Chain A
Amino acid sequence: MSTIAVRKSFLSTVWEYLTTVDHKKIAHLYLGAGGFFFLLGGLEALFIRIQLMKPQNNFVNEQLFNELMTMHGTTMIFLAAMPLLFAYMNAVVPLQIGARDVAFPFLNALGFWLFFWGGIFLNLSWFLGGAPDAGWTSYASLSLASEGHGIDFYTLGIQISGFGTLMSGINFLATIITMRAPGMSFMRMPLFTWTTFIASSLILMAFPPLTISVFYLIFDRLFNSAIFDVTLGGNTIIWEHFFWIFGHPEVYILILPAFGIFSEIIPTFSRKRLFGYSSMVFATILIGFLGFMVWAHHMFTTGLGNVANAIFAVATMAIAVPTGIKIFNWLLTMWGGSIKITVPMIWALGFIPSFVMGGVTGVMQGIAPLDYQLHDTYFIVAHFHYVIIGGVVFAIFAAAHFYWPKMFGKMLSEKLGYVTFAFFFVGFHMTFFVQHFLGLMGMPRRVATFLPGQGLDLYNFISSLGAILMTIGVIVLLVNIVITSMSKQQVANDPWGDGRTIEWALPSPPPYYNFKQLPLVRGQDTWWLEKMEGNKELPPAEPLQDIHMPKGSILPFFIALGLFIAGFGAMYNPLNQVGDGHPMGTVVLIFGLAMTFGTMLLRSLRDDLGYYIPKEELEDDDAKGGKVS
């Protein structure tokens, strides 16, 4: 493998990304694909808000509205929020723990391509007979009755991308367990690494129930089984349980890394060590644990009985305790710090009150009797947008500005960053604050329109205007990205000047082998510690020696593509419920699976011993200023 930097042609760049197993390049892929789906989901949200701008609007019809709101939720959760967080995890976590790559670079690439093909599969539904229309929760009682193949696109697409998520989860867990640099004990790990670790273990425990319930729905709709078919003894509540046993941890899978991102940003720009580090770690673990104990609070009105409701209500409220610990720790980190306002910091400052509002309404819904009033109203919509936008999306935007220089070597414009924040923050509160009141007035969610003269007109109009402001904010961010990408700047290792963790000790972007010599970690906030002692770089933990690197491979792309093809085969197999099956469907299904398993076999049979970067080449890089592309 050559390290010579040459101007690469477009095609060779494409090939490089198709075959890459480098965590930094995979981070770019996640950022690009996740960003694309984020825009798609945002567009769907905008259409929803335009439809609800005035009473009895007919911008879209009821069917299309159902498809839009289903695809908005599904896309945002599975294809935008999680992949965007994976982008930062990939970009940052190996650097933060002082590793040259993740534990399984091949699997990392496979995880991305499974997510990618799953997402494409789901979105092809728009062109192939209609998108899924049973909500992102896709309750079996509803989704079994859905006509056409929309639900099948949902189940198969989610299944394929879910496999990818599971793999990435295992990969991060193994990476953090085995690949930490000498001295990087668990209790010295940066909070973003910690939250990635806990979120990954939630992925490991939460995705299998989803896999199973989605398989049941696939089998029921496409292969004639009867798990949810009440006439044959089935039970649709099983779906609800499994979906929420997955679904509730899923929201912590999203929010914990977001907490991690803010736990990096706040100390950095308060120029002060994170307050209560060990209680932060403890709170993260506790939230992860409690996250599995509360799923039935989504089902208070299902009729599980008062005892079950009471238990889940108490467990739900208990989560407010570790979350509160975190909020106070952030506040106390800033207290007495020398605060510098930057774009990431302003997002963090906006996050704290916004997220607390979402948390408070969450506890309100935990009160089971009150939930009978709130269930399926816009109050719920307001609540989860407050936590998911106010928490996760704010974190994604903050991290975009914070880590952009580390990922691409260029700073996003500060000015445009503030403009984005202003539009998005104001638009966000405009859109969702009034929805609390719409919900309390009884406006049901997931309904395509409302009647005039019920006191709903004004708030809906305000809400829709807010959505437009958010859109402007996102457009400004896109402009910012384009302008920045075209500029010729090149930032130094620690462009914020106050970086605390290991990634800021490396060039921006880091060389493909990350560390010439693995660093010796002498304490928490490793890089800050060295800077305070006047060191210009991290102390090495090993002599300069040849570096072992994994080889790139195109196989992950084809393993994932095989499942994508098999998905179409399953959908059009002769047994399917819609009745448009064809014997060729079975052939395509077998072909797709054969492609996946055949490629896996090929991977297994061919030795992949990687390659070595010779010591001399590393020294050579050093002479050239350590910059390698």
Chain B
Amino acid sequence: MNLLEQKFTPETWPEHPETYTQEGKNKFIGFWLFLAGETVLFASLFATYLALKDSVPNSDHALAADIYSLELVFIMTAILLTSSLTSVYAIYHMRNYNFKQMQLWFFITVLLGLSFLALEIYEFTHYVYEYSFTFGSSAFSSAYYTLVGTHGAHVCFGLGWITALIIRNQKRGLNLYNAPKYYVASLYWHFIDLVWVFIFSVVYLMGMLG
């Protein structure tokens, strides 16, 4: 009788399981609203970064064009964009009630996210040790690390979230209780990806070329 725990087959599975129940609908709307707030949050970070770009105490301090390496950032971008695609596959399989495939593609998404994170950690340590570009060395570095670091923290949280979903539901499969959860996690992942596209353009491309 509890709709949330009912077992389905691919035939009876609703077309949009994420918004089939009232709880799902609430989550869907609520999460989009949350993302609106997150957009303003990142907009504030971007604005500060642009205001403080290359704002350093003295001429010895590294500037944007000195430190960024487009090769590394290109690889990171490719990885993260691909992870967005794999999460789309996962949701595609969720809609078709193909639980195993969905889990697999979410797992691949997590792996890609992890490799992105590893590269970002490498990038940060590289800046710190090669260029003494630390969190507190200038207003520019503070703004940079806060912006890119906040994005990194979001990636971290997203990885933990999706991993928890994968492990928690491994045994019981899809139902109308966890489908909205997977769905909003994938929305979150897309959002992180979108923010990265802006970081790539505004921070790195404009940093090197602008």
Is A213 at the interface (CB under 8 A from chain B)?
Answer: yes
Known A-B contacts A227-B142, A233-B140, A601-B164; the reply to A170 vs B45 at CB < 8 A is: no
Q: Are B44 and A178 in contact (CB under 8 A)?
A: no
CB neighbours (8 Å) of B33 from chain A are 170, 173-174, 204
A226 is contacted by which of B29, B136, B165, B181 (Cβ under 8 Å)? B136
Q: Are A605 and B139 in contact (CB under 8 A)?
A: no
Give the CA-CA distance A604 to B138 in the complex, in Å.
40
CB neighbours (8 Å) of B164 from chain A are 601, 604-605
Contact flags A161-181 to B (C-beta < 8 A → 1, else 0): 000001000110110011100
A170-225 residues with Cβ-Cβ distance < 8 A to B are: 170-171, 173-174, 177-179, 204-205, 207-209, 211-213, 215-216, 219-220, 223-225
User: Nearest CB to that of A227 among chain B residues?
Assistant: B142
Q: How far is the CB of A230 from chain B (nearest CB, A)?
A: 8
Known A-B contacts A104-B26, A235-B52; the reply to A205 vs B40 at CB < 8 A is: yes
Q: How far is the CB of A114 from chain B (nearest CB, A)?
A: 15
Is B34 at the interface (CB under 8 A from chain A)?
Answer: yes
Q: Are A205 and B37 in contact (CB under 8 A)?
A: yes
Is B2 at the interface (CB under 8 A from chain A)?
Answer: yes
Give the CA-CA distance A212 to B150 in the complex, in Å.
10
User: Nearest CB to that of A575 among chain B residues?
Assistant: B136
Q: Are B146 and A215 in contact (CB under 8 A)?
A: yes
CB neighbours (8 Å) of B45 from chain A are 212
CB neighbours (8 Å) of B5 from chain A are 609
- List the count of A-B residue pairs having beta carbons below 8 Å apart: 120
Q: Are B44 and A607 in contact (CB under 8 A)?
A: no
CB neighbours (8 Å) of A215 from chain B are 146
Is A229 at the interface (CB under 8 A from chain B)?
Answer: yes
Give the CA-CA distance A220 to B29 in the complex, in Å.
36
Contact flags B29-50 to A (C-beta < 8 A → 1, else 0): 1100110111011001100100
A604 is contacted by which of B40, B51, B135, B168 (Cβ under 8 Å)? B168
A233 is contacted by which of B4, B38, B48, B57 (Cβ under 8 Å)? B57
B139 is contacted by which of A166, A204, A212, A233 (Cβ under 8 Å)? A233
Q: Are B2 and A226 in contact (CB under 8 A)?
A: no
Q: Are B48 and A178 in contact (CB under 8 A)?
A: no
CB neighbours (8 Å) of B25 from chain A are 178
Q: Are B30 and A104 in contact (CB under 8 A)?
A: yes
Is B12 at the interface (CB under 8 A from chain A)?
Answer: no
Is A234 at the interface (CB under 8 A from chain B)?
Answer: yes
Give the CA-CA distance A227 to B5 in the complex, in Å.
50
A325-372 residues with Cβ-Cβ distance < 8 A to B are: none
CB neighbours (8 Å) of A238 from chain B are 48, 51-52
| Chain B contact patch, size range | 35 or more
CB neighbours (8 Å) of B160 from chain A are 597, 601
Is A527 at the interface (CB under 8 A from chain B)?
Answer: no
Q: How far is the CB of A557 from chain B (nearest CB, A)?
A: 21
Known A-B contacts A170-B37, A205-B40, A609-B4; the reply to A225 vs B22 at CB < 8 A is: no
Q: How far is the CB of A621 from chain B (nearest CB, A)?
A: 21
Q: Are B36 and A226 in contact (CB under 8 A)?
A: no
Q: Most chain-A Cβ atoms within 10 A of its Cβ — which of B5, B143, B161?
A: B143
| Chain A contact patch, size range | 35 or more
CB neighbours (8 Å) of A171 from chain B are 30
Q: Are B40 and A209 in contact (CB under 8 A)?
A: yes
B142-162 residues with Cβ-Cβ distance < 8 A to A are: 142-143, 145-146, 160-161
Q: How far is the CB of A347 from chain B (nearest CB, A)?
A: 33
CB neighbours (8 Å) of A209 from chain B are 40-41, 44
Give the CA-CA distance A173 to B36 in the complex, in Å.
12
Known A-B contacts A233-B55, A235-B55; the reply to A242 vs B139 at CB < 8 A is: no
Is B127 at the interface (CB under 8 A from chain A)?
Answer: no
B138 is contacted by which of A107, A170, A226 (Cβ under 8 Å)? A226
Is B137 at the interface (CB under 8 A from chain A)?
Answer: yes
Q: Are A178 and B139 in contact (CB under 8 A)?
A: no
Known A-B contacts A232-B137, A605-B164; the reply to A225 vs B26 at CB < 8 A is: no
Known A-B contacts A208-B37, A208-B40, A209-B44; the reply to A174 vs B26 at CB < 8 A is: yes
Give the CA-CA distance A129 to B143 in the complex, in Å.
31
Q: How far is the CB of B149 from chain A (nearest CB, A)?
A: 10
Known A-B contacts A226-B136, A234-B55, A609-B177; the reply to A166 vs B37 at CB < 8 A is: yes
Contact flags B98-139 to A (C-beta < 8 A → 1, else 0): 000000000000000000000000000000000000011111
Q: How far is the CB of B125 from chain A (nearest CB, A)?
A: 18
B44 is contacted by which of A204, A208, A224 (Cβ under 8 Å)? A208
Q: Are A212 and B48 in contact (CB under 8 A)?
A: yes
Q: How far is the CB of B116 from chain A (nearest CB, A)?
A: 21
Is A110 at the interface (CB under 8 A from chain B)?
Answer: no
25 cross-chain CB contacts under 8 A: A107-B30, A166-B37, A170-B33, A171-B30, A178-B26, A204-B40, A208-B37, A209-B41, A209-B44, A216-B142, A220-B142, A223-B135, A225-B136, A226-B139, A227-B52, A229-B139, A232-B57, A232-B137, A233-B56, A234-B142, A235-B55, A238-B48, A238-B52, A604-B165, A607-B177
Going nearest first, the 9 A-B pairs with the smallest beta carbon separation are A233-B55, A224-B136, A225-B142, A208-B41, A234-B139, A233-B139, A174-B30, A212-B44, A103-B26
Residues of B bordering A, CB below 8 Å: 2, 4-5, 22, 25-26, 29-30, 33-34, 36-38, 40-41, 44-45, 48, 51-52, 55-57, 135-143, 145-146, 160-161, 164-165, 168, 177, 181
